[in-house]
Structure 1
Amino acid sequence: MSGRPYYVDWDISHMFKVPQNVLSLHQVKGANIGLIGFSKGGDLCLSMASFLKGITATVLVNSCVANSMTALHYKEMTIPSLGSDLSKCTVTESGFLESLHIWNNPLEKPNHQSLIPLEKAQGPFLFIVGKDDHNWKSEFYAHIASDRLQAHGKDRPQIICYPGAGHCIDPPYFPARIASVHPVLGLPVFYGGEPRAHGRAQVDAWQQIQTFFHKHLDAKISVKPSKL
């Protein structure tokens, strides 16, 4: 077996009843559902919000607005993967891979079909962006989303950018993942981020995410600020 990663095509048709199934859980209070996705999980959440009914609010953490890595299927429709050029992958002095520049520009005509039609979504979006992300051009993608939504008469999404923050903006007080072995590639990858700025971004982003969800899912609940 080669060392190249293997991806299976995503099919979200079977997720059609996910909102209804989630609402039936006794832990769920109210009729609203929020999604949060990070990296590849972000464009999957964008697709779910775009095609499935009942999604009220969606948070994307350093995510792409185009379908990535493999084709995505929904009913009779297929969204192809955004193309990439692995020859543009760079290596740091420490031997870590950087994939920031490998992905094709989704705004260029040959790549338009990979863009996710997020204007079909029912609820608002929050984009969390690490400005030192070395995996995705996250800020660029967030502004593509903003322009697309406004072009279709939708509200501008909330975009929060964190200078010095890298790709892996985890919940607060988790160790900053500046670099590690990628779980899919099996290779050391540099994610970016300055430790202090990244740590502060994790704390603030967590508060912003909770505030966003409470605003759109349950306006009666307030969020206690961090004491960091």
Structure 2
Amino acid sequence: LLSHFQVKGPNVGLLGFSKGGDLCLSMASFLKGITATVLINACVANTIAPLYYKDMIIPDLGNELSKQKITESGLLNLVDIWKNPLEEHNHRSLIPLEKAQGPFLFIVGLDDHNWKSEFYAHIASERLQAHGKNKPQIIFYPETGHCIDPPYFPPSTASVHAILGEAVFYGGEPRAHSRAQEDAWQQIQIFFQKYLNGKKSVQHSKI
């Protein structure tokens, strides 16, 4: 990232959404020079596939597809299929985010039907504090679903899942979700400006 011509440096910030979120958590935990990390509806455990880093393997959290539900409109609701990372036999899938050097911002949609983002954000907060680290910043958005895109993107309440190949329900009430996208965008700018550029007050993005 530092060698990319569009990266100012010397600090690097990460922004991850969904599966990209736990990948960013892993990068922040194991790589040097990560100054700030933003997670949008992310899990605190490694998901989907095992993660390999040097001589270490973090297994995926695992799921129980038998617990998936189907909405009245025929969409899959996956929120209950993921195993609990706090159960002892799933602990190895937890990402050691307490090793990270920089702060975290968790963006959480309280109507996320892809996975339990609020639950995962609380796990992250408790884990960091248990290791003597500062609490992460967590922003909760009521009636907001999984896909919190930049502002003025149409709210994505459902789409064909890249892995399953089936239509999945993501949640979110359109008006509340749209407002959350607008606010989250500004909060992300403020967070990165503070921890990457050292600016306490920033001009709001005009997007």
Q: Provide the rounded CA distance (Å) in 1 between the counterparts of 2:5 and 2:62.
A: 42
1:47 maps to 2:46: no
Q: Which of the residues 64, 70, 74 maps onto 2:43?
A: 64
Q: Provide the rounded CA distance (Å) in 2 between the counterparts of 1:24 and 1:83.
A: 35
Distance apart, 1:38 and its partner CA: 0.3
Kept after mapping to 2: 8 A contact 1:38/1:60: yes
SS in structure 2 at match of 1:160: strand
Kept after mapping to 2: 8 A contact 1:129/1:160: yes
The amino acid of 1:129's aligned partner reads: V
Q: Which of the residues 136, 142, 146 maps onto 1:163?
A: 142
Q: Alpha carbon RMSD of aligned pairs, Å? A: 1.5
Q: Which of the residues 50, 53, 56 maps onto 1:74?
A: 53
Report the counterpart of residue 224 of structure 1 in structure 2: 203
Q: Provide the rounded CA distance (Å) in 2 between the counterparts of 1:49 and 1:118.
A: 7
SS in structure 2 at match of 1:53: coil
TM-score normalised by the chain length of structure 1: 0.87
Q: Which of the residues 141, 146, 156 maps onto 1:177?
A: 156
SS in structure 1 at match of 2:204: coil
Alignment of 1:124-139 (within 5 A): 124-139=103-118
Report the counterpart of residue 17 of structure 1 in structure 2: none
The amino acid of 2:17's aligned partner reads: F
The amino acid of 1:66's aligned partner reads: A
Q: Provide the rounded CA distance (Å) in 1 between the counterparts of 2:111 and 2:49.
A: 25
Same amino acid, percent of matched pairs: 73
Kept after mapping to 2: 8 A contact 1:207/1:223: no
Q: Which of the residues 156, 175, 196 maps onto 1:196?
A: 175
Mean Cα displacement is larger for which, 29-38 or 148-157?
29-38
1:85 maps to 2:71: no
Report the counterpart of residue 32 of structure 1 in structure 2: 11
Distance apart, 1:105 and its partner CA: 0.5
Distance apart, 1:221 and its partner CA: 7.9
1:151 maps to 2:130: yes
TM-score normalised by the chain length of structure 2: 0.96
1:205 maps to 2:205: no
The amino acid of 1:72's aligned partner reads: L
Aligned pair count? Answer: 207
The amino acid of 1:122's aligned partner reads: Q
Q: Which 5+ residue runs of structure 2 have no aligned equivalent?
A: none
Q: Which of the residues 73, 76, 82 maps onto 1:97?
A: 76
Q: Provide the rounded CA distance (Å) in 2 between the counterparts of 1:45 and 1:25.
A: 18
Return closer, same or farther for 1:196/1:81 CA change in 2, 3 Å cut-off.
Answer: same
Distance apart, 1:29 and its partner CA: 2.5
SS in structure 1 at match of 2:165: coil
Q: Provide the rounded CA distance (Å) in 2 between the counterparts of 1:217 and 1:153.
A: 23
